[in-house]
Structure 1
Amino acid sequence: MKKLIAMLLLSIVVLAACGTGTSKEDKSSSKSDDKVLIMGTSADYKPFEYIDSAKSEEIIGFDIDLANALGEKLGYEIKVQDFEFSGLIQALKSGKVDLVLSGMSPTPDRKKNVDFSDIYYTAKDLVVTSKDSNIKSVEDLKGKTIGVQLGSIQAEAAEEIAKTVDVKVEKRDKIPELIQEIKAGRFDGAIIEDVVAKGYLSKDNKLASFDAAEANEDAGSAIAFPKDSELTDKFNAELKKMKENGELDKLIVKWFGN
């Protein structure tokens, strides 16, 4: 009996050791997850990020291509998640995403909460209106209602305009909502980044535009990271190389045609 018990105990020890070995292997193999980065974006900002629903439900655009190019150079797989633009900073702070590419400008308020890469693209703002509105300048907005995307740098620009022109500023979550409000006559205009606005202007001859007064020195798009993230310097180094070797210019031509 003692011999039988001893053999049973030995079997248990051997099986336990085998189980421990398997566990360690599983744990080490899971380290591949360290090379996956979750990128937050707001997929309503063509051509930066959008969904061409006629073809697929995949998010595509300039920012997506840029993120994938940088990720490949650094050995990361980029997985994209769609958020409301106004919720992107909080998603980054709460750890839901590792970085944000969404045509986001590095404003002083945002810099209090997250870190930014160098600027990768600079554009200007347009005021989009109905062609029959006879609104052709910022001064013509007096007594009017203008729309902006919630949480955007254009919202800040509108507030600056409102300091000198008596204009009512309304905010919406997505760019298409601003265009619909103009068409419905509820907004007299909307401030939208030029490369995004041109997409709507080219498809609708009832819309018109003019340059908005540049009210913010922080115009330009950058990648957002959590505070003190080691990713900031890594992405900056590769972004600099892409600027120097012409890869970034090729993406700009692909998506913006300039």
Structure 2
Amino acid sequence: MSRRASPALSLLVAALLASAGAHAADATLQPQRLSIGSDLTYPPYAYLEQGKPAGFDPTFMGLLGKHMKLEPTFVDTRFANLVMGVNARRFDLVASALYVTPERAAQVDFLPYLKSGASLMVRADDSFRPQRPEDLCGKRVGSIKGGSWIPKLTRLSKDYCQANGQAPIDSREYPTSPEAAQALLAKAIDVQFEDAAVARIISDKLNGRITLSSDSLIYPVVIGLAVRKGNEALLGELHEGFSALKASGEYQTLLGQYNLAEPSPADIAQALGQPSAAAQ
């Protein structure tokens, strides 16, 4: 029997190889590279230090990239443009403290990897000390543009504040968290609504001029990596890399360094607006 493959078999093998190559090419925009959209103005999650990306997300993506055998590169992008950017193929994924919500899950595919929440920040010389969102009626509240809690504040303003005869919440958005903090110091707003880890960093850097008034997490959230809707190839590679990262122990060490937590399956289901397994 001849060892030479038949023409039909050769064509089949060539087609399978071409299909596999196309599948791999679809995963990332450039071979062996993982381009990452991130708002590098958001310490401790992502920021520039001596001109280079630093913080939890760059460190996390550096470790994840090693397990995926891909070289991470960061594309500094303002937060409000991240989802649009990944869907427009400006980069492969978003790693920028992006909260998982049902609305965003309709636009991108998520790999949830962190759990956080929000805090309320006020000037240290102000007697106003809000503890919960319901304390914000009639107040000027500053946030980073596109923050996931802004729609919640809008609903709260209508359904709680105005429904109970109180003044509405005056919600104001800023391009970056540092700009919102400057607005707070300048008395252009009364409160800054901010991610808890970010709020702690801002407070520390401003040497006590701003203080955290809330003492528990507000609107607990799950944070996820986001890829273009339908990019199953990359999402699968990310899941495999993430599993390897956890198995190595590096992920748990990194969480401890930043005082963050891994979301549970129930946390993820709630973030996506899905019934938990216990409720089914």
Common fold, TM-score beyond 0.5? yes
SS at match of 2:192: strand
- Per the TM alignment, residue 257 of structure 1 is displaced from its structure 2 partner at its CA by 8.1
- Per the TM alignment, residue 212 of structure 1 is displaced from its structure 2 partner at its CA by 8.2
Unaligned stretches of 5+ residues in structure 2: 1-24, 162-167, 262-280
Percent identity, aligned pairs only, is 22
Is 1:39 aligned to 2:29, yes or no? no
User: Distance between the aligned counterparts of 1:211 and 1:244, measured in 2?
Assistant: 36
Alpha carbons of structure 1 residues 104 and 232: separation in structure 2 relative to 1, 3 Å:
same
- Per the TM alignment, residue 135 of structure 1 is displaced from its structure 2 partner at its CA by 2.2
User: Distance between the aligned counterparts of 2:48 and 2:175, measured in 1?
Assistant: 16
Unaligned stretches of 5+ residues in structure 1: 1-30
SS at match of 1:123: strand
SS at match of 2:122: strand
Is 1:250 aligned to 2:253, yes or no? yes
Are the equivalent residues in 2 in contact too, given 1:158–1:191 (CA < 8 A)?
no
Are the equivalent residues in 2 in contact too, given 1:61–1:255 (CA < 8 A)?
no
Alpha carbons of structure 1 residues 207 and 199: separation in structure 2 relative to 1, 3 Å:
same
Are the equivalent residues in 2 in contact too, given 1:129–1:209 (CA < 8 A)?
yes
- Per the TM alignment, residue 159 of structure 1 is displaced from its structure 2 partner at its CA by 2.4
Alpha carbons of structure 1 residues 257 and 202: separation in structure 2 relative to 1, 3 Å:
farther
Is 1:59 aligned to 2:61, yes or no? no
Query: In the alignment, which residue of structure 1 is the partner of 2:77?
Result: 83
Q: Deviations over 1:59-92 (max 9, x none)?
A: 1111011111111111111110101100011111
Q: Structure 1: which 4+ aligned runs deviate by more than 6 Å?
A: 212-215
Are the equivalent residues in 2 in contact too, given 1:40–1:83 (CA < 8 A)?
yes
Structure 2: which amino acid aligns with 1:39?
I
- Per the TM alignment, residue 213 of structure 1 is displaced from its structure 2 partner at its CA by 8.2
Is 1:145 aligned to 2:140, yes or no? yes
User: Distance between the aligned counterparts of 1:35 and 1:192, measured in 2?
Assistant: 36
Provide the TM-score with structure 2 as the length reference.
Answer: 0.73
Pairs aligned (count): 223
CA RMSD of aligned residues (A): 2.3
1:101-112 paired onto structure 2 within 5 Å: 101-112=95-106
| Larger Rg computed on CA atoms | 1
User: Distance between the aligned counterparts of 1:222 and 1:209, measured in 2?
Assistant: 25
Is 1:128 aligned to 2:121, yes or no? yes
User: Distance between the aligned counterparts of 2:69 and 2:151, measured in 1?
Assistant: 37
